[in-house]
Amino acid sequence: MYARTFIEYAFVGGISIASRKEVAILAGVSEATVSRVLNNVGPLKEETKERVLAAALKLGYTPSSLAQSFARRRSGNLGVVMPYLPKARLFSTYYFSEILSGIGSKAREEGYDLLMLFRNADEPMDYNELFKMRKIDACIVLGAKEDLGELASLRRLKEEGHPFCLINQHFEGEAFHEVDADHVEGSWTAVRHLLDQGFTRIAFLNGPASYSNSRDRLTGYLRALEESNLPLDESLLFEGNFSRKSGAVAAKKMLPLLNEIDAIVAANDRMAIGLQQGLQELGIPRDRIPAMVGYDDSDAAELTTPALSSVRVPFYELGEIAVSKVLELQGNSRSEISTPSQVIQIKLPTELVIRASSKSKKSEEE
Amino acid sequence: MYARTFIEYAFVGGISIASRKEVAILAGVSEATVSRVLNNVGPLKEETKERVLAAALKLGYTPSSLAQSFARRRSGNLGVVMPYLPKARLFSTYYFSEILSGIGSKAREEGYDLLMLFRNADEPMDYNELFKMRKIDACIVLGAKEDLGELASLRRLKEEGHPFCLINQHFEGEAFHEVDADHVEGSWTAVRHLLDQGFTRIAFLNGPASYSNSRDRLTGYLRALEESNLPLDESLLFEGNFSRKSGAVAAKKMLPLLNEIDAIVAANDRMAIGLQQGLQELGIPRDRIPAMVGYDDSDAAELTTPALSSVRVPFYELGEIAVSKVLELQGNSRSEISTPSQVIQIKLPTELVIRASSKSKKSEEE
DNA sequence: TCAATAAATGTACGCGCGTACATTTTCTCA
DNA sequence: TGAGAAAATGTACGCGCGTACATTTATTGA
């Protein structure tokens, strides 16, 4: 015997929860009408509306998201894939917390909830499963890199037509939706700034080449040199993994070349700071430490001595835009005439923030 | 006419999705058996199991989480409430990202998904609604503070018997489940350390008193002084809001008292750094800047010059433990004999990390 | 060998909502 | 005033799973 006798209550945590049925009875209408009122669907008599709303209020009725999602076949969740960072923080937390804030802000605005998904570094994540399970309606991928498993996962996602968007990563030759900052420009501006100060031997501490933004930065670096007719000196190119430690390691490598280097551009602030500290610890006097420009304009840039010039990246906005776009895709895909909407590839401008670390010695003395 | 003719497919993103029915047909069993196999319920013939699994694999069948949640009446989501930080970051992001990592790690281990919930600073959040809507099965609250609306919300949550747990906030007289670090001890240790170095005029830059951890830190500070028979000098007590800026503001306030102060304890690293920088900018020579101990042992502590001594807080572990505990509550509440399980109030130990900033001048010269 | 029992599977229905379609009520305008 | 149209509401069913209960099949033990 499954049928409820009359009005029976569902219990959660010891407290009764009213359901649509009870509201309908109290308001003296059908359940469908209750639904209509709450979803504001179809023509409704004003008086009915009020009666239903009053009944709902009185009973403390709130529709179950679970049931709604099920009936609508949409979870209402926006997935956010993050690299799983149990202890090691390869990325600056600044980076993620800013992007997340942007994502959270826009998602809430659009009525979506944020489901956090942590990707293990080793095993690539099966994004498709998440859609098949209906856990998420759309998804934003952070910190992706050019990895075979990753790429395969994303390709399948695209094949199956699931709406997703990458932030800060471009896959060459793959028409993925991507939102990024213009790192070619950002890097170019940083180098340009140093050149303008009279520096010509500019070293470059880049991130891993598996990230497209690293490659973009290199492009910007090369372009700026080229425009000034400066030759590329490959011995001035270094690579770290975005950690402060890797900056310190780079410092050691640079040591023998320090005479040849009068300025350095780093691919993020943490490495730049590692570099600063590393050189200091190696006994380089402060006035011999090359001019420096970091990248991200994180909090940390203002914490060091000297304060670090840095390329500001609009992380918050990246997050916001990614959400907008991916939810647009979501909406479109529901319409029958799903035009194979063109690929979204957005590049936001960066901005150089100049602080003490990149001043030429001359201007410093003034 | 709603009935499906025979096997029709559900479509998502243009790709067909197999359902339990098709698996059942292919395996030649009933739908119930498919469910049993997948959930490993009841006695099952090994051969049947294999047949079903093979069929599921062949069809690429994945149960819909949506339907599962609905049938089970549990979302499988763990809510994480965070203060909504659109642009302003009152808390160090370090704090949150560490806790979140811990929460994420444990939640995944327990098979729960993380649903992020942002609380507006102004309007208190109606946590109950989230449970009523069945969006979350349990919830962890970060960055709560002693605010009337907040307290009321939490009280209702408790009344209605929803499992939740606070991290880093204690409500006096309310039997909430709480996981925290021992800030009395942490603060005590910091002061003790400074006293041991021979400092006796120790200023204290605390956080807002609306956070219980601020009050705990004050207790630790007072206790340490008392134990050394040092009188409390109220003019040495300052308050900031955890931001670097507020540290700089405190620097200004301390300026006239600088002769009376030979060491400072701050309630977090950001304020300590603001203080360091503020004093420097006010023209205080480095060797006149008081010894300093920060709190949190964030990344930033290693970035400053001199490096900042700091009280390490096991944020990651706080997150992990909170999840364990809150999910235990969850489990218990389902059993009929829900013993009014005692209130969980855990305090994890802190650890002082000593760096250059707290060395006495004497030991510095060595 | 045959009941008594246990194992294995099938049948049937609810979870709480959205919504297509059917029905009733109200309005419009000749 | 009455028919036709529009508005308002009701009826009925599915969404895809979990699971209580019923039924069938295999095992056991005297």
A72 in a structural domain: no
CB contact under 8 A, A84 and B93: no
**Are B118 and B194 contained in the same domain?**
no
Residue A279 has pLDDT above 70, yes or no: yes
Mean pLDDT computed over every residue of chain A: 88
- How much is the pLDDT for B361? 59
- How much is the pLDDT for A304? 87
For A325-354, what is the mean pLDDT?
Answer: 78
DSSP-derived letter for residue A124 is: P
- How much is the pLDDT for A11? 46
Q: List all residues 6 or more positions away from B201 whose beta carbon is below 8 Å from its beta carbon.
A: B233, B236, B260, B261, B262, B263
CA of A1 to C1' of C30 (A): 57
User: Residue with CA nearest C8 C1'?
Assistant: B44
**Are B235 and B333 contained in the same domain?**
no
Give dist(CA A196, CA A198) in Å, integer: 5
* Binding residues for strand C (Cβ < 7 Å): A 2-4, 10, 19-21, 31-32, 35-36, 38-39, 41, 63-64, 66-68, 70-72; B 28-33, 36, 42-45, 47-48, 70-71, 73
Q: Which residues of B149-163 are buried (b: 16+ CB within 10 A; e: fewer)?
A: ebbebbeebbebbbb
A68 in a structural domain: no
Q: Is the dihedral of CA B23, B28, B31, B36 positive or negative?
A: negative
Tokens representing residue A17 in the block: 């929860």
User: Which residue in chain A has the smallest CA separation from B158?
Assistant: A13
Give dist(CA B210, CA B214) in Å, integer: 8
Confidence at A10, pLDDT banded by 50, 70, 90? very low
Phi, psi of B294 (to 5 degrees): -95, -165
CB contact under 8 A, A113 and B135: yes
A10 in a structural domain: no
| Tens digit of pLDDT at every position of chain B (366 positions) | 333 333 344 444 444 578 899 999 999 999 999 999 999 998 999 999 999 999 999 999 999 999 999 999 999 999 999 887 655 554 557 788 889 889 998 999 999 999 999 887 677 788 989 998 989 999 999 988 888 889 999 999 999 899 999 999 999 999 999 999 999 999 999 999 999 999 999 999 999 999 999 999 999 999 999 999 999 999 999 999 998 999 999 999 999 999 999 999 999 999 999 999 999 999 999 889 999 999 999 988 988 889 999 999 999 999 999 999 999 988 755 443 344 568 899 999 999 999 999 987 555 444
**Are B174 and B148 contained in the same domain?**
yes
- How much is the pLDDT for B92? 59
**Are A197 and A291 contained in the same domain?**
yes
- Of A104, A129, A338, Cβ closest to residue B116: A104
Which residues from chain A sit within 8 angstroms of residue B117, using beta carbons? Answer: 113
User: What range does the domain containing B15 cover?
Assistant: 10-63
Residue A260 has pLDDT above 80, yes or no: yes
Return positions of chain C under 7 A from a protein CB: 7-20
Count of domains forming chain B: 3
CATH number of the domain enclosing B223:
3.40.50.2300
**Are A260 and A322 contained in the same domain?**
no
Q: Which of A2, A9, A11, A12 to mutate to test the interface with B (most CBs of B within 10 A)?
A: A12
Instruction: Pick out the nucleotide with least CA–C1' distance to B33.
Output: C9
B172 in a structural domain: yes
Confidence at A91, pLDDT banded by 50, 70, 90? low
- How much is the pLDDT for A15? 47
- How much is the pLDDT for A1? 31
**Are A209 and A164 contained in the same domain?**
no
CATH number of the domain enclosing B51:
1.10.260.40
Q: How far apart are the first and last CA of chain B?
A: 90
**Are A250 and A360 contained in the same domain?**
yes
DSSP-derived letter for residue A283 is: T
B4 is near strand D: CB distance < 7 Å: yes
Which range among A123-127, A256-260, B147-151 shows the weakest confidence by mean pLDDT?
A: A123-127
Give dist(CA A143, CA A81) in Å, integer: 8
Return positions of chain D under 7 A from a protein CB: 7-20
B81 in a structural domain: yes
**Are A82 and A227 contained in the same domain?**
no
- How much is the pLDDT for A359? 85
For A24-38, what is the mean pLDDT?
Answer: 96
A4 in a structural domain: no
**Are B262 and B188 contained in the same domain?**
yes
- How much is the pLDDT for A86? 59
A192 in a structural domain: yes
CB contact under 8 A, B65 and A93: no
CA of B53 to C1' of C2 (A): 37
- How much is the pLDDT for B366? 40
**Are B282 and B155 contained in the same domain?**
no
**Are B54 and B22 contained in the same domain?**
yes
